Structure formats: C-alpha cells, structure tokens
Amino acid sequence: MIQSFPPVFQENAGCLILGSMPSVRSLADGFYYAHPRNAFWPLIAGVFKEAVPDGRPQKISLLTRHRIALWDSAAACEREGSLDSAIRGAQPNDIPGLLARCPGIRAVLFNGKTAQALCLRFYPELAGSGSGLALRLLPSTSPANTMPFAQKFRIWREAVEEALYGSSEDYRQEAGRAGTDPR
C-alpha cells in the first residue's frame, strides 16, 4: 500500500488542485510532481510568470502565495509503477475536511481524469449544485499525456485564473490595481 502526501495549503486558499496519487519518483523524493518531465511546476510557475521553483520550500511558497491548495484524491492505494490506470483499492483523502478548513476554496481543479473520477467516486456530493464549488477537469501534467505544453499551459492558465479571480479579465484588473502583473 502506498500513501499520498499531506496537503499543501493555507486557510486562505481560493482553489484546490487535486491529483490522483504521487508517482514512484515523487514518492522517492518525498514531494508532489518530482518527475523531471511532469509539467506541473512549469505550468503553475508560468501562470504567475515566476521561475520554476527548485526545492520543496520554494514550491510550497509558490502555491501558498497564490492561494492554491494541493492534494491528491486518494490517500492510499495499491499500484505498480506510476500509471493511474494501475491504481487499485484506492482509499480517499478527507477532501471535505480540507474544504471546511479552507472556506474560501470555490473551485477544484482536477489534474487529469483519474483525480476527478476518484474524488467524485468518494464524494459525489461535491458535484452537486449545493456544494458551491466549480469543478474543472484539466489535462494531466504527467509525461504520459502527450498534449503539447503550450496547449496544456493555455488550459491551465485559464482555469487557475478563473478559479482564483473569476475570469482572466478579473485577474488582469486585480493585477493592474496592485500595480504589477503577478503572472
């Protein structure tokens, strides 16, 4: 049985990004998205026009400064290798508990289809209109997903901006008020 990591968050988070389960490389390194060909960190850094963070503290800072929480849908599972298709016997992370600790989260962004399928299997009520959450499936950042980086980036940027600011236009207006463009 392999175990996921604890969530990365601050209570002021505005959106939650859910993966499925850390890869073999991430488990060995002890933190999310450690495979050098995984596009997650370049995508998130690119959304905010920042350098790709090197170490764990820099990665946590990038997320929390921009009010992003990060976790996995599954807390534990059986899996040989890193492919999501090999996940068996998944057990849920306490997503509702995290949402209760971060009442400002209004959007959940799924990093790939398996993250979405697991979360909604464990917590179908999150998809209901009463949850108050916007749910959005995004292309997986895994190297197994061969979608070109530029296409992934466009989709991820739009989703993150909408999750945090309501729209890309709202994002640009807020950045203008602050006198900077944080992308």
Cα–Cα distance measured from residue 107 to residue 163, given in angstroms and rounded to the nearest whole number? 5
In degrees rounded to 5, what are phi and psi of residue 59? Answer: -70, -45
The letter for the amino acid at 43 is L
Catalytic residue among 12, 38, 111, 145: 38
Q: Which two tokens stand for residue 141?
A: 């950042």
Q: Which two tokens stand for residue 139?
A: 């292309």
Rounded to 10 degrees, what is the CA torsion of 174, 49, 104, 179? -20
111 is catalytic: no
In degrees rounded to 5, what are phi and psi of residue 150? Answer: -60, -40
Measured distance between the N- and C-terminal CA atoms of the chain, rounded to whole angstroms = 39
Q: Give the list of residues 6+ apart from residue 154 with CB closer than 8 angstroms, or none.
A: none
Q: Give the list of residues 6+ apart from residue 28 with CB closer than 8 angstroms, or none.
A: 34
Longest dimension (CA), the chain: 49
The catalytic site residues sit at 38
